[in-house]
Chain A
């Protein structure tokens, strides 16, 4: 018997007709009034307009919304259904916190300052002094003062999310640190992953600094390392009883500002964005933020799909839809990749297919190009066939760009998982695009198509102006700078390659460990669930200002 398609539940909830029906009724559902969220918006807008004396949102303006049955959206691999408005990043506190948690994280090594303290200042660094320093820095990082006696501080209720923890590949060293300051690799990761991570990290002791969410919001991404560096320097002065004016302090500040690891790399001036903003995050780094394979190590499909979801929100919705495009953004477009279990179905089909026909994960020789593109063709054809056999799935993804992204993401994930090489994955992404255009006579929007029709040529090129390993490409890679809808799949492709290989990380073991931290506000192991909780208004974000607003 054929397997039940994973998108069937969502399709049945979206439409009353059978998912295979090609016909329905339109223009008879009561317009926007069929949506509880739109009714809420209208009531709120009317009240605001009356209060301020200036018109506001008015559903009688523009195209009449709700001419079709108003579709709910199921967050993939969850039971949560929400309305599309709930997945707009401005309406979804979990999505905002997801980006806040990434932006406000900066990794700062302790090796260099410890050397300065020991070799230059002749003071001893011991587990006791490190614990004392960590107690101090957990006072300064949220905004506590240590040097001057008459100093304004940050209200702790506004900065409860700010702290500093450490981790290392050296178990003996970590055993000496108070548990409350430790991100424990051994406890948080499956044994095989923990061993890989510890080996990669070695004896380095690394701080995972969480600057208050509200600081990143009030200033910008570039502020994060500065806030961190200032408070780390103050903590060293206090913990090690140093002179506030001595030259060594400048070294602490310099190293914390400039030898730290922000999540976002620098972008060129033409993007008009500062440092540590989402456009500078390489796909491999965001893939390391996604933690599904830590908690569900036997489910590589889920790991890739969670990375896709994270990429959809951080890159497509917040960065391209907000930072770069502005306006109401690209919610409808991006959500296709992480709702209704459609990409889920295609991805698990691909995994089964690889196991049945290609010998299992990572068994396909990446040099066997003809076989690789055969796999891509088969997965892509399956994906497109599902849209054709199930008109409900087709209508759920009623924009061609949505379908193009989802089919290409499934093909790309397949290429990655079959070979263990992300570049093979992105090559199949482009194969999917060309074949979809050929099959259906349509693809996405103008700019979308432009990039996807020349992408085959740069997918394996390593010449610096033409290519880059997929792990290190990002939204700022030349051809991807306006690639809305793609960046979700692009994040999933390197993740898929490395989980298929059994790797504990995609590009950076330090980032991988930092986002395993259970003290983070957003749970990076359950990305779609968190977005769903945001949509249901159950998610409690940090950075709220209620503590300083009179009721």
Chain B
């Protein structure tokens, strides 16, 4: 029987969402539109319209050696052109953000190639060739993994994921890169990833209700879905720990486990 790829165990809402985010055959829902030039502005790596900076000549001019790996791997567009590697980094609030850092890492690695990810408690960075990065950044600002109030786009001074929310329900940001537009009920970016002021205000749309966010999230919480209520996820974690422990202690005891 051919192996059928599995993505995540469990039956509860966070488990099902994790499975869906990780499965590359599942299309992520697009919830908003942000112009590519505005994404470029928020990223802050180049001005809209500015040429991409390169770190090596285009591959077709580079006289690459004959190599089986090069024959196997089709380079990304940015790699072909010699783009530098730049980043986008999202911060995800503990208060039912649609996704959290580990699920981001697993999702990116499951869906894309040519990326380097780093996972921390509040934030998750993706590094990639610049023109390819911009495409992915736009996708992930527009899709269902992003909530304007509970997801931040931050290069530095990223903490705030575990702070309480402000009076408008927005995640704390010491640099105040975004503001609440009370008239429109939208979140507006006024600074780029590293908190340099933008020359225009960029709306990233309306936050979702907490009721809906609890249906969208990948986070288990006692005031939402507690992981203890998902027997399969619980068992899976305990089993991993048990097998790893035995493997390092008495590998023979793993027989039959």
Contacts and interface: CB of A to CB of B under 8 A. Distances in A.
Interface in A202-234: none
B244 interface: yes
Nearest to A454: B244
A388 interface: yes
Nearest to B234: A377
B157 A442 contact: no
Given A377-B238, A440-B220, A457 B227 contact: no
Size range of the interface on A? 35 or more
B121 A444 contact: yes
Nearest to A391: B164
B248 A459 contact: yes
Contacts of A434: 237, 240-241
Interface residues of B, number: 50
Interface string B156-197: 010111111111010010111000000000000000000000
A461 B166 contact: no
Interface in B99-133: 99-103, 118-122
Nearest to A20: B223
A458 interface: yes
A457 B245 contact: yes
A385 B222 contact: yes
A399 B236 CA distance: 26
B102 A442 contact: yes
B247 interface: yes
Nearest to B97: A441
B161 A400 contact: yes
Contacts of B218: 441
Contacts of A440: 94, 100, 219-221
A394 B94 contact: yes
Contacts of A391: 164
B249 interface: yes
B255 to A, nearest CB: 15
Looking at chain A's contact residues, the main secondary structure is helix
A441 B123 CA distance: 11
Given A23-B165, A25-B166, A441-B101, A460 B245 contact: yes
Interface string A422-455: 0000010011001101111111111001000010
Contact of B163 (A68, A400, A456): A68
A74 to B, nearest CB: 19
Interface string A355-386: 00000000000000110010001000100110
B69 to A, nearest CB: 26
B101 to A, nearest CB: 5
B233 interface: yes
B244 A388 contact: no
Interface in B241-257: 241-242, 244-245, 247-249
A461 B248 contact: yes
B33 interface: no
A438 B233 contact: yes
A153 B111 CA distance: 72
B163 A398 contact: yes
Contact of A431 (B92, B166, B233, B241): B241
Contacts of A395: 162-164
B216 to A, nearest CB: 13
Nearest to B220: A439
B126 to A, nearest CB: 14
A456 B241 contact: yes
Contacts of B176: 27, 67
A404 interface: yes
A444 B120 contact: yes
A546 interface: no
A64 B157 CA distance: 10
A484 to B, nearest CB: 14
Given A388-B221, A394-B162, A23 B249 contact: no
Contacts of B90: none
A21 B163 CA distance: 11
Contact of A439 (B118, B161, B227, B241): B227
A22 B165 contact: yes
Given A23-B166, A67-B174, A458 B101 contact: no
A459 B118 CA distance: 26
B23 to A, nearest CB: 17
B211 to A, nearest CB: 14
B222 A369 contact: no
Given A440-B219, A459-B248, A399 B237 contact: no
Given A27-B176, A438-B227, A459-B249, 4 more contacts: A64-B175, A435-B237, A440-B220, A462-B249
